[in-house]
Amino acid sequence: MRFAADGEPGYLSRARWLEAIGDRRMLLCSAVAERGADYWNLTTTATASYTGWVINGSKILASVSPAATHFYCRLKAARPSG
């Protein structure tokens, strides 16, 4: 499931995400905490590849992971060079 600004084609709107959570069709696992990093200076990165994204990093907590239907992870996207 992809999330972006409301109305952007190909993405689920915020309202649809909240509706799915409220209807208990979606339970998000949230992986945001990193050892030694504050909320705005993340070390986990996503780099574009030919087949999608390569994610590198380490999280120290993933809330409600055993029951989750969806996974949310805070990271920073590496800008392509060139």
DSSP letters of the chain? --B-STT-TTSB-HHHHHHHHHTTS--EEEE---TT--TTS---EEEEETTEEEEE---S--BTTTT-SEEEE--EEEPPP-
CA distance 1 to 21: 13
pLDDT of residue 22: 92
Residue 37 lies in domain: 28-78
Percent of the chain at pLDDT > 70 equals: 82
> Which residues have a Cβ under 8 Å from the Cβ of 62 and sit 6 or more positions away?
29, 30, 31, 71
Q: Which residue type, as a one-letter code, is found at position 30?
A: S
pTM for this model (two decimals): 0.62
Could you tell me if residue 14 is inside a domain? no
Check pLDDT > 90 for residue 64.
no
Could you tell me if residue 19 is inside a domain? no
Could you tell me if residue 72 is inside a domain? yes
pLDDT of residue 4: 54
Q: Please tell me the total count of domains within the chain.
A: 1
Could you tell me if residue 12 is inside a domain? no
Could you tell me if residue 7 is inside a domain? no
